[in-house]
Amino acid sequence: MERHAAAGAPCQPVAPVILSVEVRRKCFAQRSVLGPLDFTLGTGEILAIVGPSGCGKTTLLRIVGGLDRAYDGDLVWGEPGPPRIGTVFQTPRLLPWRTVRQNLELARPSGSDPAVGDALLRTLGLWPDRDAYAAKLSVGMARRLAIARAFAIDPDLVLLDEPFVSLDEAMAAQARQVLLDAWRRRPISALLVTHDLEEAASLADRILLLSSSPARVIHTLTIPPDLRRAGGTAAAELAESLRRLPGDAHFFGGT
Amino acid sequence: MASGADKGSFGWLRVLSPLLLLVLWELAARLLDSRMLPPATAVFRALGEEIAAGPLPSDLAITLGRVAAAFTLSMLLGSALGLAMGRSRAVDHFFESWLTVLLNVPALVLIVLLYIWFGLTEVAAVAAVALNKLPATAVTIREGRRAVDPELLEMAESFRMTRWRALRHIVLPQLTPYVFAAARNGLSLIWKIVLVVELLGRSSGVGFRIQVYFQLFDVTRLLAYTLAFILVMQGFEWSVMQPLERHANRWRL
């Protein structure tokens, strides 16, 4: 089932593996929604998971995040064991009755250095509103705060579930930049669920294309090193090449 | 907001309506001219005398102390039980029948039983009141706990929040309306039961004093004590409950 990318680059990451996922089957009320599928994630690797809506991407992230344990399969963590995971959920999931700053601090172990959170708030343009209740934030600001929260805990792995939707293009670009900056400072591994092929192509080291439900991996594309995070044209071309894939992948066709 | 405008234009009704009630009372009493219904002015005069020279302040303080003890006890235990039942089906099923029993035992029976088992003591009195209120608190808080947003609890789990932190910052803020409902219902219920407890087995407090004036058929002083209690409870609502509620809801403004 797995096809190699046109460039013929190797599919396995070179860096040590932080996580191997094997989901044989995941059911909701007898109905299979996921699997069989398996993949690995390298340390410091950004892996984009792209698939049609409702194919089980979010369920897959929940399994990796330890929020869903009722599945048939295995999660195997690399050395030194389960990492610290920061999650950006599909909806911001903030505490509306706490301020922007409190939302950030409450996600971190007590006694953490507040400078880390403050720096993130500045980068994401939330600093002027740091003492506002999260209930008062616009949709875009709430989303940025959710992203800041995931990075504020100094994670080894971030799980991002459509983190940039409902941000305008400028804000989305800035938020992507935060992800890349954090990633460049330290090799954070990331699983990025998205429906946007350009976004996947512009951020990821590797892209998994999933089928419709029950999701299986129908294609893996390792982005050639010289094209990784190279910006505009390269990403658009990569996305285009994925859209031209035959068969099951046609549902990514659009523009 | 609509409710704010409403308050602004009709606020005077809240002042007018109790005044009207007082006037009606006064008129009716004067028309009837009976020992059974003294006029408002006489009751207020008696209230003043009882405060200045009588046992009212100390009786009121003693009763309020019992109300406070029973209220605190029933809120703490009832909330803890309600939280546990709202969280876990097993706990819920286990305690369901206990609650049903407690909810359906008449207040009077509980009071009499506790007096028989533990004597006419302060502990028995307070425990009887607290036990009467506890099941209703537990049921209210259980409903509140069930309504807590599971997505936020999941967020707490994924960020490895400690239990205490999740309780304080995620569960409790969402319980606020339920806690206030339980507290308000609790206070009004508790002070009524406290009077019965005092009447049956204590020789101090408002309930005891009411029994004395009942035997003397002194309706004026009966009403004076009642009035004192209503005023104190309303004062508590204004000075404690409402500011607390505003503070809890400040993020909504």
B159 part of contact set with chain A, CB < 8 Å: yes
Cβ–Cβ below 8 Å for B151 and A89: yes
Cβ–Cβ below 8 Å for B251 and A96: yes
Confidence of residue A240 (pLDDT cuts 50, 70, 90): confident
Asked whether residue A30 is domain-assigned, the answer is: yes
Asked whether residue B68 is domain-assigned, the answer is: yes
Which of chain B's residues have a Cβ under 8 Å away from the Cβ of A65? 158
A43, pLDDT greater than 70: yes
Q: Each residue of B195-209: pLDDT tens digit?
A: 999 999 888 999 999
Asked whether residue A219 is domain-assigned, the answer is: yes
Contacts 24+ apart (CB under 8 A), B99-108: B99/B135, B99/B138, B99/B139, B102/B131, B102/B134, B102/B135, B103/B135, B103/B136, B103/B139, B107/B132, B107/B193, B107/B196, B108/B196
Asked whether residue A110 is domain-assigned, the answer is: no
Mean predicted confidence (pLDDT) in A171-185: 79
Cβ–Cβ below 8 Å for A106 and B151: no
Confidence of residue A8 (pLDDT cuts 50, 70, 90): very low
Q: Each residue of A85-104: pLDDT tens digit?
A: 999 998 999 999 999 999 99
B170 part of contact set with chain A, CB < 8 Å: yes
The rounded distance, in Å, linking the Cα atoms of A207 and B128 is 67
ipTM over 0.85? The verdict is no
In this predicted model, which residue has the larger pLDDT, A10 or B233?
B233
Q: Which domain holds residue A228?
A: 1-82+191-255
B173 part of contact set with chain A, CB < 8 Å: yes
Average pLDDT, chain B: 91
CATH assignment at residue B105: 1.10.3720.10
Q: Is A245 helix (H, G, I), strand (E, B) or coil?
A: coil
What pLDDT is stored for residue A4 in this prediction?
40
- Lowest pLDDT segment from A66-75, A233-242, B206-215: A233-242
AA identity, residue B136: A
- Note whether A145 and A104 are within 8 A (CB): yes
What pLDDT is stored for residue B6 in this prediction?
52
B164 part of contact set with chain A, CB < 8 Å: no
Below-70 pLDDT ranges, chain B: 1-8
The DSSP code sequence of A23-45 is EEEEEETTEEEE-SEEEEEETT-
The rounded distance, in Å, linking the Cα atoms of A196 and A137 is 25
Asked whether residue A89 is domain-assigned, the answer is: no
pTM (two decimals) = 0.82
Number of domains in chain A: 1
Which of chain A's residues have a Cβ under 8 Å away from the Cβ of B166? none
Asked whether residue A108 is domain-assigned, the answer is: no
Mean predicted confidence (pLDDT) in A76-88: 88
Q: Each residue of B40-98: pLDDT tens digit?
A: 999 999 999 999 988 899 999 999 999 999 999 999 999 999 999 999 999 999 999 99
A6, pLDDT greater than 50: no
Asked whether residue A217 is domain-assigned, the answer is: yes
Mean predicted confidence (pLDDT) in A57-64: 91
Q: Each residue of A196-233: pLDDT tens digit?
A: 888 888 889 999 998 887 888 888 888 888 888 777 77
Cβ–Cβ below 8 Å for A135 and B252: yes
Confidence of residue A158 (pLDDT cuts 50, 70, 90): very high
A255, pLDDT greater than 70: no
**Cβ count within 10 A of residue B98:** 12
Number of domains in chain B: 1
CATH assignment at residue A16: 3.40.50.300
Confidence of residue A7 (pLDDT cuts 50, 70, 90): very low
Q: Which domain holds residue B157?
A: 57-208
A134, pLDDT greater than 90: yes
The rounded distance, in Å, linking the Cα atoms of A243 and A251 is 8
A82 part of contact set with chain B, CB < 8 Å: no
Asked whether residue B77 is domain-assigned, the answer is: yes
Q: Which of A106, A108, A157 is the best residue to mutate to test the B interface, defined by the most B CB atoms within 10 Å of its own CB?
A: A106
What pLDDT is stored for residue B1 in this prediction?
43
A180, pLDDT greater than 60: yes
Residue of B nearest to A94 (CA): B152
A151 part of contact set with chain B, CB < 8 Å: no
Mean predicted confidence (pLDDT) in A111-136: 89
In this predicted model, which residue has the larger pLDDT, A240 or B124?
B124
Q: Which of A61, A63, A89, A97 is the best residue to mutate to test the B interface, defined by the most B CB atoms within 10 Å of its own CB?
A: A97
